[in-house]
Structure 1
Amino acid sequence: MNFSEFAAAGVGVLADFSRDTALAAGLSTTRMRDLARVHHAYYGPTRFTRQQRDALALAEGMPIDQLIHIEKKLTRVATAADRWRIRLDLVRHRGSFRGLTKRADRLIDLPTPAPTPACRFSRSRDGMRTMTWTYTERELADLEHLLRTGIDPNTPAAAQLADALAALLRDGETVPKAAFRPIVIVPIADWMRIHAGTGDEVELTCTDGTTMTGAQYLHHQFGDVLDVAAFHPHHGAVNLYRGQRFANTKQKTMSKLLCPGCAFPDCKTSAETTQTHHITAWAHGGMTNMDNLAELCPFHNGVNADDRSGRFGYIDNPNGRITWIAPNGTDIPMTTPGAMELLFD
């Protein structure tokens, strides 16, 4: 069995599963329990025999790790009938692990506790310790803005940010409020709700990685001039400029509206610190037009496969939606929705 076959091994490999055989083969008890849970769902006794038969057929070809993930998610569902209903939906999924997680979380509607302010420190290791700080997004956005001032974009940012923070703490300087210049993406339906007085709880996305409510939007001072950008539901942002290697200021602004953060999935870099990327590389004839631009962090801009082959995948924009194409060809949408998703999806 080669690696591709191993990664794609589905529920059929568990037909004759045995706990004793699994343990004798050297599997961990955790792995054994995960496999036993899947085996029980698809091959164990149940009064939902028709659903089990249908699920077994649908699960054919689904990677075993995704089946394990489904069963772990289903442990939070109270009734067997609901578990089978959700299971039958989830085994139809074909795509990424992250996509499966998002689909499961939509179906299993459990309240997620809001994060609270916290500061934690790890134990020392080789003379180093780790601090994790959870605080209001606006305060931390101000801090990140200050720390990124003056760092070298050609070298890894993490160590430079750590040194800048240490220097700030040693000097006892206060963190100035950053000028609030990120772009706020406001779908027209939400804009109408906000200005009608019924949109206080609307959550708007900003290109610096933060969010604001409809109430905060109304109270914020944006100045006397408000820039407005229009987007077509299928073709994306309006084509503003063509014919030069580097995007102009307006194009960069609209590209940030399309990508409020780096377009690679799960990258946490906000659009305020990304680079404007040519989807079809300039060297390959790609124009500097809005339908060929996306926002990527320096790392992902460097590893993006311009020739559309390689282990990091590449960025595309089918139907005007910025999307990462995995090496196996799977389409993965952006982690943070941009203007096209907020306006038209």
Structure 2
Amino acid sequence: MAFIALARGLSYRDLVAQGVPRRDARVILDLYDTYYGPTRFTRQQALAGNNHHSVEILHKIELGANQLKDAHLGWQLRVELAGVASPAEALRLLEAFLAQHKPVKDVKRGVNITNHANGDRTISLTGSAADIADLETLIDDPEAPVESFVANATGGGTAGFGITTLGVIHLQDLLATCQGQGPDVQVACGNGASVDTAELLRRYCADQGFVAVFTDAGPLQLFREHRLGSYAQRVAATAESTKCCHPQCHKPAEKAQLHHIQDWKDGGLTNSGNLAWLCAYCNSTNGQLGRGRIVRHRGQIAWIPPRGGAPIPVGRKVQPRG
């Protein structure tokens, strides 16, 4: 505490100029404000200041006190730990105090999925302790936790279950791979995954699967008969893009909506040439100020930036047949 008291009248720059590391300078000034600055808890401040803790321990105590919403509890914590000589014991009592008095965080149950630009994905599940504990049993290899979890999960329970998705591989890519003219092509899937052809067959086509070859831009035209696209139109849309068509969005097609490029309310048709995948957010903000808009340019889905300019091609170009 005597070292903290030496900061009286000094600024951050003064401490740094005297050789105190920048991070420590901030900590020292904050500790000075707590133990020597003005407060309505003057009696508790005097009692808490009668300690021999290091700056490191005092900083950890402050981090704990800041987690307590009640200021009285914060000063009670400081006073109780002031008389503890052992740093290890002080930290143990700190954890026990916080466990007893820190407000319980209200956690909402559910699933949160984050799609990363490099193709990886993070999934976070919050549920009952029993449900999560059951899921934890699927991780039986600590050296490969994700791989073992997926292997056990996709093996099915007593009822069994499988995972299906739409994998899009274009004919020229498939022929080049079969002829050994290039490396095994990566197949983009509607669930956001990207796998090679062997993995596609093993993961999604082991039990059942089908192959559809598309050369036409629009296999089905529903005009104004239905607003929602048909299954075949969803397949065709995925052949053009396996994710949301906004270039800065990475949400997979299976989590997106079929967007009418010319709005339905403005007479847009439910035809494949007028449909494109947009996630719920991008669909609701498409065309709004600062968001740009989706168009079809020369037969290909494209995006016009917010400030205008040439359309930027998005997804895969589907060659129309004469």
TM-score normalised by L of structure 2: 0.49
More relative contact order, 1 or 2 (CA 8 Å, 6+ apart): 1
TM-score normalised by L of structure 1: 0.46
